[in-house]
Structure 1
Amino acid sequence: MIELLSGNVILTIFLVIALGTAFGSIPFGPIRFGAAGALFVGLIVGAFVDLNDPILTFLQDLGLGIFVYMVGLEAGETFFRDLKAQLGMMLASVVAVTVGAVVAVGAGGLLNISREVAVGVFSGALTSTPSLALAQEQTGSEIPAVGYSIGYPTGVVVAILLVAVTIGRTWKAKKDQENEDEKILHPVTIAVEVDEVDMAQLDEKYGDQFVVSTLRHHGRARVAEDEVPLERGDVVGIMATRAVTDDLVAAIGRRVAARPLIDEKVTVQHFTVSNKDIAGNQVGNLALPGAFGARITRVRRADEIFLANDDTYLAYGDIVEVVLPAKRQREVNSYFGDSIQSFAELDWIAVAGGLAIGFLFALIQIPLPGGSSFALGAAAGPLIAGLILGALQRTGKTAWQLPRSANYTLRQLGLMMFLAAVGTASGPAFASTAFSLQGLTAILLAVLVSIAGCGTFLLLAALLGKSATRANGGVSGMLGQPAVLQYALENSSDSRIMSGYTATFAVALIFKIVIIPFLLV
């Protein structure tokens, strides 16, 4: 079997992915390693199988690039919007990396570990391949790679264990609370019992938590217009969050038990967005009200359901709830496309074109003091491209956002390819040193560095008033580690995980590289 796999990279990688997936699903108490199973199986297989290193490097870069590009696409819209609010998380990641670096040098000296190996352990425990590359360039030696090969899997395991312990915690997060009632949407029918309803004031106060959908005026039901004039005696249908329903009822009139606003003239239908001219556009830019007298009230994107307002972007595969005149149903259906097959067919300009831009960014050299420099690489280039394109949503006729299901599939493919290739490539060095005295002390150092770095960040995030989910996303970003991010996502569907990841990734990536020359002094 070993002879069959030796030299056959593709066969080996997919075998590692399959076995790693099976291993990752095995529970060890409350913990499952998930996607990281491919890394551990790869370390075992790589210790016995002789493979072509350049091909493994290619697969690492390709897999990592696909993964971070897809993450960037999904997070781009919120990343730039929340940039100011995430400044504290960014600074916390810099402090945490500094603490990890100090522990690597200080504890490494106490354990009689050479500075080159200690710096390699630092790079591995905080999973920074660009840091390793610069350390090797600065020392002119392959010795840092020995520490890296031990520190990398150790850092992944420790980080996953920390996430497992903290992801479900509900520590005080005064500045990062989510009201669950703001996520629960339901229709409410209100009879107008005041002489004058100030809808502009209600919209300013609760605008992102309700949408007026239908109106019964003088006995006739119709789709509500953008500016709804309400009179005493009208009955209005609203889609609202549970958090604001009582306030809306109190401001307008009284709740009506039935929902008498849908009849043979007005209907509510669901359509799938597959029209390329719609995807990537904001709801306020669509021709629905003027052309069809229709209104979007809710959007379902994968497992997430949210209210639609004029600023909401639509993506391929979104399922939109539309209130419309019954006689216009066929026209509206044609307008959205409503074809599952159409949106399932990937727009390869968005996929390949975006990745090409990302790998072009990867070539950019960042200068460092002393005349050295580092490239953004496959970890940062495609992520930056994804963030920018995800925020742009659309350029000309190209909608950059992919259907959420396609994004997840490609993300998983890239992640598993990356982890299997990294594990297999690191297998020989790990096997030759991990069980020696030097290897055991290096493992201990990697544990200390990982706990110091990740623990410091979690503590600072808690002190900053951030939630456990955002803090764990921030740890994943500080490490730049897909396996840790995926583990967090597998244990929580909170969107703050992705927000935390994108907030810390770029800053920590650059700082982990910049600090290397100082560690080698």
Structure 2
Amino acid sequence: MDWLINIFTDTSSLAHIMVLIAIVISAGVALGKVKFAGISLGVTFVLFVGILVGHIYTHSGMANEENLAAPGQVLNFIQDFGLILFVYCIGLQVGPGFFQSFKSGGGMKMNYIAIGIVLLNVAVMLGLYYLVFASKGDKNDLPMMVGVLYGAITNTPGLGAAQEALKTVGGFGDLNIASGYACAYPLGVVGIIGSMILLRFICKISLKDEEEEIRKLQEDNPHAKPHRMSIKVTNHSIDGKKLSQIREFLNRTFVCTRILKDGNYITPSHDTVVGYGDLLNLVCAEDDSDAVLAFLGETVEGYDWKEERSETVSRRILVTQNSVNGKTFGEMHFSSVYGVNVTRITRQGMELFADRALRIQIGDRLLVVGEKEAVERVANVLGNSVKRLDHPNIGAIFLGILLGIVLGMLPIAIPGMSVPLKLGLAGGPLIIAILIGAYAYKLHLNTYMTSGANLFIRELGLALFLAAVGIKAGATFWSTVTNGDGLTYVWCGFLITTIPLLIMGFVARKVYKFNYFTLMGMMAGATTDPPALGYANMTSSTDAPNVGYSTVYPLSMFLRILCAQAIILFLCT
């Protein structure tokens, strides 16, 4: 049995390292599915299992000369590699909606609130540091409070960015700020959801009234309201022209569902020729109806087309057609022209709202609801060819990672700083991934990755990162909690979580008059916390929480990572 014992005791062997990582990740993922009061920690539980394993090895005498359960250099590689994979896939996920979120008035206001929450989180953390810790004169307290900050807002990429920046600064030895993160994380999840509930009572909000308000706002949109017309062609200039040519001449989007030509009913296609005197059954947006009618001819009132309406179906349609890549939903007129409703848009595993200004990209999945014939027509327009996107372009993905690492290592000299500023292994890949996600279609670059592949790589990277961080933190975690400031970190983290959310939530409600369900999504997005979004979705029967979350999430994630590095580089040098 010596071979089995050596697997767990020979800390320098490859077999031991792989077994150790496998145990930590598998156990952490399994325990992360257990719900406490309806809330689960998910893959983040890997961190706590890693801390436990690291603690066992350290205090059982099985640790190596570095007092770790595995070689420190190997753990550092696993940590950094996992972090790069994680933040790069995060960037690809948020990139398509990052710049789009600033283009509408409502989106700007939502992001103002998110920025306020991010800055207040930092301000409360610094205030608590100077009130509680500064007088002690321990240089390690500020980095540890940064760990508490990112545990309080449940933001793991920020923790990785802070640790990476701490290596750049130097002078802090083997300080592992994951201990502060772990102390604050559990109450961070509870504090975010608790802030949502408390805000509802402070502002005396009625959930029923909020849902009714959303329904009223969604009614009678002239851009989305369909208008059906029977038009007799009296314009001689379009006699003998194809329907596709007429659309180009008119520069309006419409769908012709039936044509009465010489007493015969025809189901038209793009190449169908229209003649003088033909009777067309058209559907267009209500605000386009006057222009369409003026160009084609005259309306015929009360004509019965005797159409048999097909069954209503819902179908997920994959965008694979290059001709629609980059077009906005407003330009497509799904509801008014094609007679269907797009109820869900999934992009890189993220639910987006079908705003008129949102641009469609290759790989988007649209949940389309409508009559079977209309849904089939939309599927043909969008492509829906799964085979075209089955194989991700791995070369393009790693080219992006290469560019991100080069950007992250680029030294930027700033007056007053003892060391040059670097975006690091977290910031560089994130920025490159956001730019690729937002603008790759303009350069005709195929960087598409299925949502399943993105989620897998992202979760794998996060699990590797958390496992390595946890194992390293386990060596000192127990002493930090019992002999150090562990309990102080817990209540400081709770204040860092709740105070900014309550202040900015109150401002968003009273000043900007945001709907409560949208506000819940914004609070979850500003803290990049999926469990909080899940709670918001359970509370509401509308899509408002998803709208708020997806609008502020990209900028919030970017600012969280950037702030982590800025605090360390500016205040810890």
**Normalized against structure 1, the TM-score is what?**
0.71
Which residue does 1:106 correspond to in 2? 131
Secondary structure of the structure 2 residue equivalent to 1:67: helix
1:399 Cα deviation after fit? 1.8
1:72 is aligned to 2:124: no
1:72 Cα deviation after fit? 1.7
Q: CA–CA distance in 1 between the matches of 2:506 and 2:170?
A: 34
Structure 1, unaligned runs of 5 or more: 197-206, 245-251, 289-293, 477-484
Q: Tell me the amino acid that sits aligned with residue 555 of structure 2.
A: A
Which residue does 1:53 correspond to in 2? 72
CA deviation map 1:408-444 (0-9, x unaligned) = 2222222222222221221112123222254444544
1:513 Cα deviation after fit? 3.8
Q: Which protein is bigger by CA-based radius of gyration?
A: 2
1:350 to 378, 381, 396: 396
1:106 Cα deviation after fit? 0.9
Alignment of structure 1 residues 32-43 onto 2, 5 Å: 32-43=40-51
State, as a whole percentage, how many aligned pairs show the same letter: 20
Q: CA–CA distance in 1 between the matches of 2:548 and 2:504?
A: 16
1:124 Cα deviation after fit? 0.7
1:28 is aligned to 2:75: no
Q: Tell me the amino acid that sits aligned with residue 60 of structure 1.
A: Q
Which residue does 1:398 correspond to in 2? 445
Q: CA–CA distance in 2 between the matches of 1:58 and 1:48?
A: 22
1:158 to 162, 180, 187: 187
Q: Tell me the amino acid that sits aligned with residue 217 of structure 1.
A: I
Q: CA–CA distance in 1 between the matches of 2:525 and 2:392?
A: 28
CA deviation map 1:200-228 (0-9, x unaligned) = xxxxxxx9xx9744432334332579xx9
1:65 Cα deviation after fit? 1.9
Between stretches 445-454 and 29-38, larger displacement belongs to 445-454
Q: Is the 8 A contact 1:123 1:129 kept in 2?
A: no
Which residue does 1:248 correspond to in 2? none
Q: CA–CA distance in 2 between the matches of 1:155 and 1:80?
A: 32
Which residue does 1:222 correspond to in 2? 268
1:121 is aligned to 2:140: no
1:452 Cα deviation after fit? 5.0
Secondary structure of the structure 1 residue equivalent to 2:363: coil
1:81 to 80, 83, 100: 100
Q: CA–CA distance in 1 between the matches of 2:56 and 2:306?
A: 68
Q: Tell me the amino acid that sits aligned with residue 487 of structure 1.
A: P
Q: CA–CA distance in 1 between the matches of 2:571 and 2:148?
A: 15
1:412 is aligned to 2:459: yes
Secondary structure of the structure 2 residue equivalent to 1:374: coil
1:61 Cα deviation after fit? 2.0
2:546 to 474, 494, 508: 494
Q: CA–CA distance in 2 between the matches of 1:155 and 1:405?
A: 30
Q: Tell me the amino acid that sits aligned with residue 65 of structure 1.
A: I
1:349 Cα deviation after fit? 2.6
Which residue does 1:380 correspond to in 2? 427
2:555 to 503, 507, 510: 503
Between stretches 450-459 and 492-501, larger displacement belongs to 450-459
1:260 to 282, 287, 307: 307
Structure 2, unaligned runs of 5 or more: 58-68, 151-158, 235-250, 288-298, 538-544
Alignment of structure 1 residues 365-514 onto 2, 5 Å: 365-368=411-414, 369-394=416-441, 396-451=443-498, 465=512, 467-476=519-528, 485-488=529-532, 491=535, 492=537, 494-514=546-566
Q: CA–CA distance in 1 between the matches of 2:93 and 2:303?
A: 39
Change (3 A) 1:314 1:255: farther
Secondary structure of the structure 2 residue equivalent to 1:18: helix
Q: CA–CA distance in 1 between the matches of 2:499 and 2:381?
A: 57
1:4 to 7, 27, 51: 7
Q: Is the 8 A contact 1:92 1:460 kept in 2?
A: no
Q: CA–CA distance in 1 between the matches of 2:565 and 2:354?
A: 42
1:190 is aligned to 2:228: yes
Q: Is the 8 A contact 1:97 1:512 kept in 2?
A: no
Q: CA–CA distance in 2 between the matches of 1:433 and 1:308?
A: 48
Q: CA–CA distance in 2 between the matches of 1:506 and 1:455?
A: 22
Q: Is the 8 A contact 1:97 1:453 kept in 2?
A: no
Q: CA–CA distance in 2 between the matches of 1:257 and 1:406?
A: 50
Change (3 A) 1:413 1:454: farther
Secondary structure of the structure 1 residue equivalent to 2:307: coil
Q: Tell me the amino acid that sits aligned with residue 62 of structure 1.
A: F
How many equivalent residue pairs?
A: 467
Q: Is the 8 A contact 1:191 1:255 kept in 2?
A: no
Change (3 A) 1:159 1:392: same
Q: CA–CA distance in 1 between the matches of 2:534 and 2:482?
A: 32
Which residue does 1:201 correspond to in 2? none
Change (3 A) 1:367 1:51: same
